[in-house]
Amino acid sequence: MANESFNTTPLPGPFGVAVEGLDIAAASPAQFNALVDLLYENHILVIRGQDLSPPEYIAFGRKWGELVPYFQKRWTLPDYPEVLLITNEAVPGRALPPAENWHADGTYLERPHSVTMLYGREAPDEGGETWFAGTAQAYDGLDAETRTALEGLMVQHVKNGGDKLALAEEHERALTLESQTTEEERKGLRPVVHPMVLRHPATGRPALYCSTTTAYGIEGMEESEAVELILKIKRHVLQSQYRQSHKTLPGEILLWDNFAVLHKAAPTPLSNADGERRLLHRITVSGLPERFADRAAA
């Protein structure tokens, strides 16, 4: 389908769309707005055929919201702290540990991350996918009684909160490691709450916002009951009809809407061999594009 002078095709699976025939470094405001609509409607967006310099990629990321810098510079692109290197380079201490658990980015923050994007530089011949689970589709799949029961529930989150055994320790660390952590890391050690049923700040579409890597309880609910409900929702979201994957190839930019999907990385062995390397440039943003400046982003 043609859309603002570029072509779109559905991705294989229950959601997602691919764009071809667009140079995002030269995209018009109308073309960018069309990309925003495509992401919010389809939850993941693949833009093919890109050849961007780091400043061009960063400028594109900034259009989606406020860039989130990374403070551990050994994992960032030199001179560009906004760009995280996702790599399976076989050098001790250099490869970023893959995020192989289902999650949405930044749920442990009062202002969670809204959009994450990966720019493909190298891809292995086998493996290297990112997996997604549609939390908006999963909400649609609930019966009316369950939807009503979930309305108004506020889920408690803390960084690494999904590890029940480490939760108490995290609270202690919040008090003892102030001088050894970044501001964002310190914020992540303090509990926050988000609604179980999140209305998308731009579209109003409801989704199940319950990332089990950070969720540890529900306000006003006994711990065992809350954990049981969180895990029940997780099992519902991860059903096969709500899942799909995409491998980001060189020259592609993959974006996802953290308010509408969970994601995780497929395991990728460390390797420097031809045909086995994986290198992605990741940008994360909080907030919304300028056209939604009057709306709060969760």
Total tally of structural domains belonging to the chain:
2
Among 237, 255, 280, give the residue marking a domain's end.
237
Handedness of CA 76, 82, 180, 103 (dihedral sign): negative
Mean pLDDT over 180-205 rounds to 84
Answer yes or no: is 87 within a domain.
yes
- φ/ψ region of 143 (left if φ > 0, alpha if ψ in -120 to 50, else beta) reads beta
Residue from 77, 131, 82, 22 nearest 279 by CA: 77
Are 209 and 276 members of one domain?
A: no
Where among 237, 260, 280 does a domain terminate? Answer: 237
| Token digits of residue 186 | 């310190």
pLDDT in tens, 110-137: 999 999 999 999 999 999 999 999 999 9
Q: What is the pLDDT of residues 26-37, one digit of tens each?
A: 999 999 999 999
Q: Residue 3: pLDDT above 90?
A: no
For residue 233, the surrounding DSSP H or E stretch is helix 223-237
Return the sign of the alpha-carbon dihedral for residues 181, 182, 183, 188. Answer: negative
Q: Which of 239, 267, 258, 248 is nearest to 14 (CA)?
A: 239
> Does 250 lie in the same domain as 120?
yes
pLDDT at 99: 73
Regarding whether 233 and 268 lie in a shared domain, the answer is: no
Tell whether 145 and 287 lie within a shared domain: no
| pLDDT score for 168 | 44
Residues of the chain with pLDDT > 90, as a percent, come to 71
Confidence check: pLDDT of 181 > 70: no
Q: Do both 121 and 266 map to the same domain?
A: yes
CATH assignment of the domain containing 156: 3.60.130.10
pTM, whole model, 2 decimals? 0.90
pLDDT score for 211: 78
Regarding whether 82 and 43 lie in a shared domain, the answer is: yes
Same domain, 103 and 213: no
In this structure, the answer to whether residues 88 and 215 fall within a common structural domain is: no
Domain coverage including residue 155:
134-237
**Cβ proximity of 87 and 94 under 8 Å:** yes
pLDDT in tens, 56-94: 999 999 999 999 988 777 788 989 999 999 988 877 665
Determine the Cα–Cα distance for residues 177 and 233; give it in Å rounded to an integer. Answer: 33
- Alpha helix locations (H) across 103-208? 135-140, 144-150, 167-176, 183-188
